[in-house]
C-alpha cells in the first residue's frame, strides 16, 4: 500500500480497499500485476479527492487517502490500525466495489479492524443487490452489521461528504440504503487513479464508467436491479477530462466499464469528442468497451467507435441457442445477427471478446461441445470466455430461487461464475464443472488458435499480438483454474493470508509447495508458448490466400446451410420467425403506392 504523507494538521485517514477473494485452497487471489483495474476504486478515489480538496471535515482536518486493489497489493489490517492510531485515531476503512464473491474476504479484512475499534464501511454490488431484491437482510449482511460494520447500498455520488462527517463524529449508521435514489452522473466527479496505482495492472490501463444502467431485462443480470434500466450518463466534457488527465500522466489505455456502451444515451457526443481529440488534437489512446449484440444496428455506432479509439469489445453473446436466450429473457440477442455484428467490429479493427454462458437448462456436455464447434467454424470471434450460469444476488434468477427455497451454495466466495452454486436440471455439479473446465480446451485447440491467427492476418491485425492475447486468455483457466478476468502476472501467495477456518501451513510445506507450483505453472506456460509460437511461425510464413466460413461475407443463402441456423429446433424456429417477419415487411412495402 502507498502510505499517505504525514502532516501537522489533524488527520482523518481514509482507506479505500478493493478486496479480492479466496482461491479453492483459501489463499487470496493476488498478482504482481493484475489484469484489469478496478473502476470502483477510480470512482471512489475521485470522490474522496474531491472531498479532501473541499476540506469537508473542516479547514484543520486533512483527509489522507490510501487506495489499494487487493488483486495486486497485499492488505495488512495491522498496518492500517497502526497508521490510524499514529495519526490520532480518526479514520474510515472503505471496502469498496464488493461483489458477492468478495464479501467473505471483505468481512475477514474488517474483523480485526472492528476489533481495534476502527470504522469500516462495505459497499458494492453484493450489498446493493441483496437490499434491492431480497425481502429480508441475508445472514451474511446481518453478521457484518453485528460486527459493527456499516453497509452502504446504492451509489456514493453526492453522499461521501455526509458519510465522512458521520465517521468523523463516530456516528455511522449500521445501514445506508439509497437504492431508491440513483444519482445523475452528468457533471458528477469523475473517476481517477494515480499512475503508480494504474501501473500495477498489466496493460497500464485505467478505467472510467461513461454511464450506468441498461434497458434490457436479462434474468441473470444484477446491473438492471442495482443501477437501473435508465441510462444515466456522463457527458462529453467529463470524458474529455478523464482522458486528458490520464494521458497527462502517461496512461493511454482505458477500460470503459459501462455494461452496454451502445445504450449510453450520450454515446454519440462522447465518440465525437474522442474522435476530435484523436484526429484533430493528435492524442493517442485506446479504449476497451462493452457492447450488446445489436450495436451494429445503431447508425454510425461501430464506425464512430473505431474512430474514437475502441480497439476491443466485450460482447455478451451468452449462447447460440435461442431457447437458452429466451429463458434468460435475452430476447435482444438474435443469433441471425451475430455474424454481421462480429464482422462489423472487425472492419473497424476491433478485437472481439465474446462472453458465453454454460449451464442453461437445456445444456448438456454434448450440446455444449457441439455448440463450441459451431462457433469455431461459423462465428468470427477472437476470444471466447466462458462463465457458469450463476444466480448472483441482485439478479432476478437469484430472487426467484431464493423465494422458491431452492438450495444455493451458502459460501458467497464461490459466486464468481467459475463455480457451480445451484443444481442444474440434468447435469450433476461435477458434470457441469467438468464441461465448464473442458470448454476452454475445446475452444482453444491448436487448430483453432491457428484459424484465429489466420483470420487476424487476413484483416491486417498482427498475428503476433493475437497470439499473445490467446495465450494469456487460455493460460489463466488452464493453469490457475480462474477466469481470465481474474488473472494477472505472477501469482503471489502469503502463508498468513489464508481464509479463516483453514489451517496455516508450516513454512516448509507452504513455501515448498508454492515454489514447486510456480515452477510447474511456468514450465507449462513455456510449453504453451512454444506450441503457440510454432503455430505463429507457420501462419506468418504462409503467404497463400486464406478464407473460411466465419469470415465470408454474410449472404442470404447461408441461412439454409450454416449449422448455426439449422442444428437445433429452436434455431430453425428463430429462422422461420425471421423469414415471416421479412416477408411481412416486403408485403407491407409492396402495398405502399
Q: Which of residues 216-245 bind ligand B12 (CB under 6 A)?
A: 221-223, 227
Which residues neighbour 447 within 8 Å (Cβ) at sequence distance 6 or greater?
none
d(CA 410, CA 414): 9
Tell me: does residue 409 bind ligand B12 (CB under 6 A): no
> Which region, judged by CB under 6 A, interacts with ligand B12, from 156-164, 298-306, 469-477, 509-517?
156-164
The listed partner (ligand SF4, ligand B12, none) that binds 104, CB under 5 to 8 Å by sort, is: none
The 37-66 site mask, x for binding ligand B12 (CB under 6 A), equals -xxx--x-----------------------
The interface with ligand SF4 within residues 256-315 (CB under 6 A) comprises 259-260, 292
Q: Residue length, the chain?
A: 593
Select from 165-173, 218-226, 363-371, 509-517 the region that touches ligand SF4 (CB under 6 A): 218-226
Residue with cell 479509439: 309
Q: What is the largest CA-CA distance in the chain?
A: 86
Letter string b/e over residues 307-343, b meaning 16 or more CB atoms within 10 A of that residue's CB: bbbbbbbbbbbbbbbbbbbebbebebbbbbbbbebbb
Quote the least distance from Cβ 368 to ligand SF4, whole Å.
20
DSSP string across 88-133? TS-EEEEE-S--GGGHHHHHHHHHHHHHTT-EEEEESHHHHHHHHH
Secondary structure (DSSP) of 207-255: EE-SEE--S---TT-SHHHHT-SS-EE--HHHHHHHHHHHHHTT--EEE
Please tell me the distance from the alpha carbon of residue 8 to that of residue 542, in angstroms, as a whole number.
68
Name the one range near ligand SF4 by CB under 6 A: 68-76, 211-219, 378-386, 564-572: 211-219
250-272 per-residue burial string, b: 16 or more CB within 10 A, e: under 16: ebbbbbbbbbbbbbbebbeebbe
Is 156 a binding residue for ligand B12 by CB under 6 A? The answer is yes
How far apart, in Å, are the Cα atoms of 261 and each of 145, 268, 296, 345, 359?
36, 10, 12, 14, 27
Q: Please tell me whether residue 121 binds ligand B12 under the rule CB under 6 A.
A: yes
Query: Which of residues 292 and 486 has its CB atom nearest to ligand B12 in the complex?
Result: 486
Nearer to ligand SF4 by Cβ, of 168 and 216: the residue is 216
With b meaning 16 or more CB within 10 Å and e meaning fewer, what string describes 515-540? eeeeeebeeeeeebeeebeebbeebe
Binders of ligand B12: how many residues, by CB under 6 A? 42
Kindly write out the interface string for residues 339-368 of this chain, putting x where it contacts ligand B12 by CB under 6 A and - elsewhere. Answer: ------------------------------
Rounded CA separation 233/269 (Å)? 11
Q: Which stretch binds ligand B12 (CB under 6 A): 123-131, 276-284, 368-376, 536-544?
A: 123-131
Whole-angstrom Cα distance, residue 438 to residue 218? 26
Residue 260: CB minimum distance to ligand B12, A: 9
CB of 447 to ligand B12, least distance (A): 28
Q: Which of residues 310-339 bind ligand SF4 (CB under 6 A)?
A: 316
Residue with Cβ nearer ligand B12 (91 or 124): 124
Are 483 and 477 contacting, i.e. CB atoms less than 8 angstroms apart?
A: yes
CB atoms within 10 A of CB 350: 25
393 part of the interface to ligand B12, by CB under 6 A: yes
Does residue 100 bind ligand B12 (CB under 6 A)? Answer: yes
Min. distance of Cβ 257 from ligand B12 in angstroms? 4
CB-closest chain residue to ligand B12: 123
Q: Distance between CA atoms of 592 and 288, rounded to whole angstroms? A: 44
- Write b or e for each residue in 115-153: b if 16 or more Cβ atoms lie within 10 A of its Cβ, otherwise e: eeebbbbbbbbbbbbbbbbbeebbebbeebeeebbbbbb
Interface residue with ligand B12 among 238, 259, 450, 497 (CB under 6 A) is 259
- Note whether 224 binds ligand SF4 by CB under 6 A: yes
From ligand B12, ligand SF4, none, which one binds at residue 224 (CB under 5 to 8 Å depending on kind)?
ligand SF4
> CB under 5 to 8 A by kind: which of ligand B12, ligand SF4, none does 260 bind?
ligand SF4
Q: Using CB under 6 A, which residues numbered 466 to 485 contact ligand B12?
A: 483, 485
Q: Is residue 488 near ligand B12 by the rule CB under 6 A?
A: no
Residue 316: name its binding partner from ligand SF4, ligand B12, none (Cβ under 5 to 8 Å by kind).
ligand SF4
Nearest distance from C-beta of residue 537 to ligand B12, angstroms: 32
- 214 contacts which partner out of ligand B12, ligand SF4, none, CB within 5 to 8 A by kind? ligand SF4
Q: CB–CB of 119/150 below 8 Å?
A: yes
* End-to-end C-alpha distance for the chain, whole angstroms: 72
Question: Which residues touch 174 (CB under 8 Å, ≥6 apart)?
Answer: 145, 150, 151
Measured distance CA(578)–CA(336) in Å, rounded: 8
Instruction: Decide if residue 221 touches ligand SF4 (CB under 6 A).
Output: yes
**Which positions touch ligand SF4 (CB under 6 A)?**
214, 216, 218, 221, 223-224, 259-260, 292, 316
**Which positions touch ligand B12 (CB under 6 A)?**
20, 36, 38-40, 43, 71, 94, 96-97, 99-101, 121, 123-126, 128-129, 152, 155-157, 163, 209, 221-223, 227, 257, 259, 387, 392-394, 415-417, 483, 485-486
Amino acid at each position: 500500500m502507498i502510505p499517505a504523507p504525514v502532516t501537522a494538521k489533524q488527520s482523518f485517514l481514509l482507506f479505500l480497499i478493493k478486496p479480492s477473494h479466496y482461491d479453492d485452497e483459501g489463499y487470496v487471489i493476488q498478482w504482481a500485476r493484475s489484469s484489469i483495474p478496478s473502476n470502483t476504486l477510480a470512482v471512489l478515489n475521485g470522490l474522496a479527492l474531491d472531498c479532501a480538496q473541499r476540506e469537508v471535515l473542516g479547514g484543520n482536518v486533512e483527509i489522507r487517502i490510501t487506495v489499494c486493489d487487493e488483486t495486486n497489493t497485499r492488505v495488512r489490517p495491522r498496518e492500517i490500525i497502526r497508521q490510524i492510531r499514529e495519526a490520532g485515531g480518526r479514520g474510515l476503512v472503505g471496502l469498496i466495489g464488493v461483489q458477492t464473491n468478495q464479501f467473505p474476504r471483505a468481512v475477514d479484512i474488517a474483523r480485526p479492524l472492528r476489533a481495534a475499534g476502527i470504522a469500516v464501511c462495505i459497499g458494492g454490488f453484493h450489498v446493493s443487490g441483496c437490499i434491492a431484491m431480497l425481502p429480508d437482510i441475508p445472514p451474511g449482511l446481518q453478521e457484518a452489521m453485528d460486527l459493527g460494520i456499516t453497509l452502504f447500498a446504492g451509489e456514493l455520488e453526492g453522499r461521501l461528504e455526509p458519510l465522512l462527517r458521520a465517521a468523523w463524529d463516530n456516528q455511522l449508521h449500521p445501514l445506508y440504503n439509497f437504492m431508491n435514489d440513483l444519482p445523475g452522473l452528468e457533471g458528477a466527479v469523475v473517476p481517477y487513479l494515480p499512475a503508480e496505482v494504474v501501473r500495477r495492472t498489466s496493460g497500464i490501463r485505467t478505467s472510467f464508467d461513461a454511464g450506468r444502467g441498461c434497458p434490457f431485462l436479462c434474468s441473470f443480470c444484477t446491473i438492471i436491479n442495482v443501477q437501473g434500466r435508465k441510462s444515466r450518463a456522463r457527458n462529453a466534457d467529463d470524458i474529455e477530462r478523464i482522458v486528458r488527465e490520464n494521458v497527462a500522466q502517461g496512461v493511454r489505455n482505458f477500460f470503459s466499464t459501462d455494461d452496454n456502451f451502445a445504450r449510453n444515451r450520450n454515446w454519440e457526443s462522447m465518440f465525437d469528442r474522442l474522435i476530435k481529440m484523436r484526429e484533430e488534437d493528435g492524442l493517442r489512446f485506446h479504449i476497451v468497451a462493452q457492447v450488446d449484440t445489436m450495436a451494429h444496428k445503431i447508425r454510425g455506432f461501430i464506425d464512430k467507435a473505431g474512430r474514437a479509439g475502441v480497439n476491443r469489445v466485450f460482447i455478451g453473446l451468452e449462447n447460440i441457442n435461442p431457447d437458452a436466450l429466451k429463458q434468460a429473457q435475452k430476447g435482444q440477442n438474435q443469433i441471425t445477427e451475430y455474424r454481421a455484428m462480429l464482422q462489423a467490429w472487425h472492419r473497424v479493427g476491433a478485437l472481439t471478446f465474446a462472453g458465453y454462458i454454460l449451464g442453461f437448462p437445456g445444456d448438456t456436455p454434448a450440446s455444449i461441445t457441439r455448440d463450441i464447434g459451431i462457433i469455431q467454424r461459423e462465428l468470427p470471434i477472437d476470444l471466447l470466455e466462458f462463465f457458469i450460469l450463476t444466480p448472483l444476488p441482485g439478479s432476478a434468477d437469484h430472487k426467484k430461487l431464493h423465494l422458491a427455497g431452492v438450495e444455493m451454495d451458502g459460501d458467497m466466495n464461490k459466486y464468481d461464475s467459475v463455480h457451480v452454486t445451484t443444481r442444474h436440471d440434468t447435469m450433476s455439479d461435477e458434470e457441469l464443472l467438468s464441461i465448464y473446465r473442458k470448454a476452454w480446451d475445446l475452444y482453444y485447440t491448436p487448430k483453432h488458435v491457428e484459424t484465429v491467427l489466420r483470420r487476424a492476418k487476413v484483416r491486417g491485425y498482427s498475428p503476433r499480438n493475437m497470439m499473445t492475447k490467446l495465450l494469456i486468455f487460455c493460460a489463466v483457466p488452464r493453469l490457475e483454474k480462474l477466469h481470465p478476468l481474474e488473472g494477472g502476472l505472477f501469482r503471489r501467495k502469503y502463508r498468513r493470508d489464508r481464509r479463516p477456518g483453514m489451517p496455516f501451513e508450516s513454512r516448509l510445506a507452504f513455501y515448498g509447495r508454492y515454489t514447486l507450483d510456480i515452477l510447474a505453472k511456468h514450465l507449462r506456460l513455456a510449453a504453451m508458448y512454444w506450441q503457440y509460437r510454432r503455430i505463429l511461425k507457420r501462419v506468418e510464413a504462409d503467404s497463400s490466400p486464406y478464407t473460411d466460413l466465419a469470415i465470408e461475407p454474410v449472404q442470404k443463402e447461408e441461412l439454409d446451410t450454416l449449422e448455426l441456423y439449422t442444428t437445433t429446433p429452436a434455431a430453425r424456429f428463430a429462422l422461420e420467425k425471421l423469414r415471416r417477419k421479412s416477408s411481412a415487411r416486403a408485403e407491407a412495402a409492396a402495398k405502399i403506392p
